[in-house]
Amino acid sequence: MAIHLLEAMSREGFEEVIALHDRRSGLRAFLAIHDSTQGPAFGGLRRWSYLDEDQALRDCLRLSRAMTYKCALAGLAAGGAKLVILDRTELDLRASYRAIGALVERFAGRFYTGPDVGTDAEELGWVAEQTRYVTRPDETGPGLLAESTCAGVFAGIAACLRHLDGEEDWGRRTIVVQGLGAVGRGLSRLLLEAGARVRASDLDGEKAERVARELDLELVDPATEYDQACDVFAPCALGGILHDLTLTRLRCRIVAGGANNVLVRSLHGERLHERGVLYAPDFAINSGALIRGALFHLEGRRESVEAIGARIEAALEGILARSREEGLAPVRVAVDEAAARIARWRGESPAEG
């Protein structure tokens, strides 16, 4: 179904959505700025082979709004945005990223971009040729971005285990990690160091073998992660994986990972709750890199990875405590809490947020 863009923007409170076409490079991209009332909007730059522009726009809008939720729950004076590039073989990559840089520069600091799937140090170097409002993963930037995400997810999993069992007891835990990229690999390492048993998958078979050898972990076939009996399922690949068909297959007690937009719709978080599975909301647990990047730009400092882990753990503990007290799914509590904070920034009543 096609998106009614202005309807969606008004329903979800978006400030601005831009469609970008650059004839010379072949660039086709969307930028969504969800909120910049509190401070600059932060949002990474995703390059992906979308099926069509509708899918790309939807992804852009969802990810942008989730960034505002992350800022609200992490207590940052910042908001959310997202850039997506529709990847195609005919793209002139360098020229495309330079065109993106010129767009970011036009916002004069109201919007910062940074790494995401498909965009890393090299591509961000091209963006930085045109603008300084970019978070680079090299020594000119905050550094330790994926490490900050991993520390937050690890601390969040610990909070979930303590919430259910009163202790972490890593030696008796099995965690299934989906995706062995920057986040899945780093998280697996932390879990193994803590003494947990880790089973993991990656669609890229060579990468899976390489990481399995390096970390000495067990592999499972992609798409069988959902069927594995375990304590924690940690999605660290792409979003949109938990829906009517997959959630009934889960044999875990907790879902907590680094991927963005894990649930197809937030009602799937409520279904998980009804089934007795604790779902740690993605935007509450995976904000480590955002915190590190935002504090670098806003306050000119590099927050320690430990402090970031502690901050996310405390925020998640608050959400889980409220969830228990009020008998609501954690995702409902987290969405309500984020929406209430955003409404306060905007001077609206929560119902309007």
Q: Which residue from 238, 264, 298, 343 is in contact with ligand NAI, where contact means CB under 6 A?
A: 238
The residues, ordered by sequence, that sit 6+ positions from 150 with a Cβ below 8 Å of its Cβ are 183, 186, 187, 189, 190, 258, 288
Q: Which residue from 83, 260, 329, 330 is in contact with ligand NAI, where contact means CB under 6 A?
A: 260
Residue whose CB is less far from ligand NAI, 49 or 349? 49
Interaction between residue 157 and ligand NAI (CB under 6 A):
no
**Run of H or E including 338:** helix 330-346
Closest CA to 44 of 97, 81, 79: 81
Q: Please give the Cα distance from 290 to 153 (Å, whole number).
A: 13
Interaction between residue 64 and ligand NAI (CB under 6 A):
no
Q: Phi, psi at residue 232, to the nearest 5°?
A: -135, 130
Closest CA to 44 of 109, 114, 121: 114
Interaction between residue 182 and ligand NAI (CB under 6 A):
yes
Residue whose CB is less far from ligand NAI, 206 or 274? 206
Under rule CB under 6 A, how many of the chain's residues touch ligand NAI? Answer: 27
Please report, as residue ranges, which positions from 107 to 146 form the binding site for ligand NAI (by CB under 6 A). 116-117, 145-146
Residues 26-45 as x/- pattern, contact with ligand NAI by CB under 6 A: --------------------
Q: Please give the Cα distance from 285 to 21 (Å, whole number).
A: 34
Specify which residues 7 forms β-bridges with.
none
The catalytically annotated residue of 62, 82, 136, 271 is: 82
Collapsed DSSP state (helix, strand, coil) of residue 41: strand
Q: Please give the Cα distance from 336 to 264 (Å, whole number).
A: 18
Interaction between residue 204 and ligand NAI (CB under 6 A):
yes
Residues 273-302 as x/- pattern, contact with ligand NAI by CB under 6 A: -------------x--x-------------
Residue length of the chain: 353
Q: Please indicate whether residue 82 is annotated as part of the active site.
A: yes
Q: Give min distance, CB of 74 to ligand NAI, in A.
A: 12
Interaction between residue 237 and ligand NAI (CB under 6 A):
yes
Interaction between residue 79 and ligand NAI (CB under 6 A):
no
Interaction between residue 259 and ligand NAI (CB under 6 A):
yes
Which region, judged by CB under 6 A, interacts with ligand NAI, from 79-87, 134-142, 202-210, 344-352?
A: 202-210
Q: Please give the Cα distance from 118 to 68 (Å, whole number).
A: 22
Q: Please give the Cα distance from 254 to 276 (Å, whole number).
A: 9
Collapsed DSSP state (helix, strand, coil) of residue 51: coil
Residue numbers annotated as active site: 82
Applying CB under 6 A, which residues contact ligand NAI? 116-117, 145-146, 149, 178-184, 201-204, 207, 222, 236-239, 258-260, 286, 289
